[in-house]
Amino acid sequence: MGKTKRTRLKQTKVPVGCHQWYTVDTLMKKERRQINMTPVKLTTLTKKGGCGCKIGPGELRDVLHSLPETKKDPNLLVGLDTGDDAGVYKLTDDLAIVQTLDFFTPIVDDPYDFGQVAAANALSDVYAMGGTPVTALNIVAFPIFDLDKAILSEILRGASDKVQEAGCNLVGGHSIDDQEPKFGLSVTGTIHPDQIQTNAGARIGDQLILTKPIGVGISTTALKRGLLSDEEVSRVTAVMAMLNKGAAEVMKNYPVHACTDVTGFGLLGHLGEMAAESRQAITLMKDQVPVLPRVRELAEQGVVPGGSKSNLRHVKEAVHFDDRLDEIDQLILADAVTSGGLLMAVEAAQAEALLAELKAKGLDASLIGSVTDGPAGQLFVK
């Protein structure tokens, strides 16, 4: 038998939309293979982008509360009761599976980056539960007869690369022809039944650490309106595409009592869920929350997605803002995030050590508040 020739990878720049380029890897065998793609800005194809297209927390809760109770299975360790990031089902005394899915409309114009961000966002739910992603399935809605098929190929390639980065296995998927593009993953992970992280275990005195900056919803709304520089687009894309894998690995070495990831309901929404499920109060220090550049400037210009405004309306009854905080401050804290960081409640004595290790990994992590003795489910923002 002759030797099989190894396929070489060649990087080629391909235009996407006005004045935007991205790098694709083209297979090189006997001759150079050119990828031709009809230019299109993906964010122009949808009304809402990323996690901002989620049904609002209030409306969703009304729907879920109308459903009849299902039979309780003793092996269902995490289900619908706590509003956690994923479900957990025990298979044996030493093994449980973590199940989640997440998909949304384009949040960026670059197809490859959209695939990366959507995949990182879906994988994050498993990390937030303390699990390890094992398999993933593509969820595809795409106008296959109206857009260039090469665009879908790039979305899938971006997701595949991110899934591989996570050490996860892409095993298939499902697709439909839809006028509005949507993409995401269904992810299954594993975890020991005794090591599950939920949003319900925060204790008085715990310190709160956030591992990524907020302001993604406002920034990507500005992106859609053409108000960001190339550098700013690259920055917000990199934040969204970053896996929470590193943060989750560090978290396992510390006494973290509760964890969730910050996504479509905004920082205030996810803090509110943690406070309510843990039956504690939470104090948030606004000036310690990491925020993407120019977010306040953009918000003052009215560049705020509808989902962020809806988030603020939903949480206002449970949030007590310091008098110095204006509506812009409040909207930023409620901003709908796509593929945000992990929000951890860690034992106070270990908080600085955890924060230092997260920073050593290059994460923009910050200590943003604490769990306090007060009315259950209430947030106090200073």
The predicted structure's pLDDT at residue 49:
56
- Distance, CA of 47 to CA of 363 (rounded, Å): 31
Sheet of strand 76-78: strand arrangement:
76-78, 87-92, 95-104, 182-191, 132-142, 169-177
Supply the pLDDT for residue 85: 75
The CATH architecture to which 207-381 belongs is Alpha-Beta Complex (3.90)
Q: pLDDT at residue 11 above 50?
A: no
Q: Where are the domains of the chain?
A: 51-55+75-195, 207-381
CATH code of 51-55+75-195, in short, is 3.30.1330.10
CA dihedral 49, 220, 341, 156 (to 10 degrees): 50
User: What ranges in the chain are assigned the alpha helix state H?
Assistant: 57-65, 111-128, 149-165, 216-224, 230-241, 245-251, 266-278, 295-300, 306-315, 327-333, 348-360
Find the catalytic residue in 18, 51, 168, 259: 51
pLDDT in tens, 299-309: 999 999 999 99
18 as an active site residue: the answer is no
Strand partners, 142: 177
Q: Model confidence over 64-80: pLDDT tens digits?
A: 777 777 778 999 999 87
pLDDT digits 0-9 by tens, 163-177: 999 999 999 999 999
- The residue among 266, 267, 220 whose CA lies nearest residue 240 is 220
Residue 48 has what pLDDT? 59
